[in-house]
Structure 1
């Protein structure tokens, strides 16, 4: 069922932000509001010219642009390159799915999620940066894909539950990877601290 991954992940994130995360965290309220609005808008659709758009995806794209806009000018250029790279990869995957579907060897959302996860790790070093380029780049890819299909008189709903599922799955994979990265640095710090204490005692 399309949208299941999105709802599970976003409701889980909202519960964590609202009831578990420290209230002193400066991002807590902003992120909780963004997640809740994204859930509310997930079934809202509207038309812009020849294109039908699901409001949740467009809202997420706008939020990503706002966060990216807070970066320095040099970082903005690099973010543009990263989001454009993700967009091209997203569109290419969909086009290959149409012209040669036999290479989809398991569930499409998982294949796209793993591809975008690996791409985000290569392009960005922080979890925030990785999430921004995934949500923004994939939505830009949705728009570009819709323009491509429109040339052949095919209708395509932009920002569908499939897009939300892929982004949600990728976000979970990226968060898990970030936890592993931080766990490694913490263990390394503890190990060095233990070694120093051992050397002093001897």
Structure 2
């Protein structure tokens, strides 16, 4: 079964370009389009996409609020990949903090677009960890610091979180720590539960903003 994608962007040319790129991917299918975040919820109910590609800047409901709405409306929401023009976009970072699973630059190459969709859908590694590190640089959050302190991660879980922040997949973490992949999955699940994160992106943001991991 192909991965199904919903495109959400207020620029018709951007949507057309993304559709052309994704239609060339044998394992990806575009299942619908919207010009604003306000149209996202009914389309998700109708089309049940695996991934929503969401522009962060839209006139009626931007990608940040639309992301919050999606996560609040669905117990098992689709993955959300926000698309932005600027790499160090505060809007994109706030969308990630709101629960988006990753971000993609509009100038990305066609191969990167397909790769991003697959990676976000799989959820086994962090999308563009270096760019996320740059976005997080200089940002602190006392609530995140308190959360990480209360999480009481074991030594192994702390190691796993640090490697997650470097963008390593479960398989790469397993190789680095000489563990089985299933054991790593168990540790990752424990980290997400203790940190109260929906996915790796949320856990890594908390790790950066708390000072547990230092960007750079």
Using structure 1 for the length normalisation, give the TM-score. 0.32
**Bigger helix fraction:** 1
**Bigger strand fraction:** 2
RCO (CA 8 Å, sep 6+): is it higher in 1 or 2? 1
Using structure 2 for the length normalisation, give the TM-score. 0.30
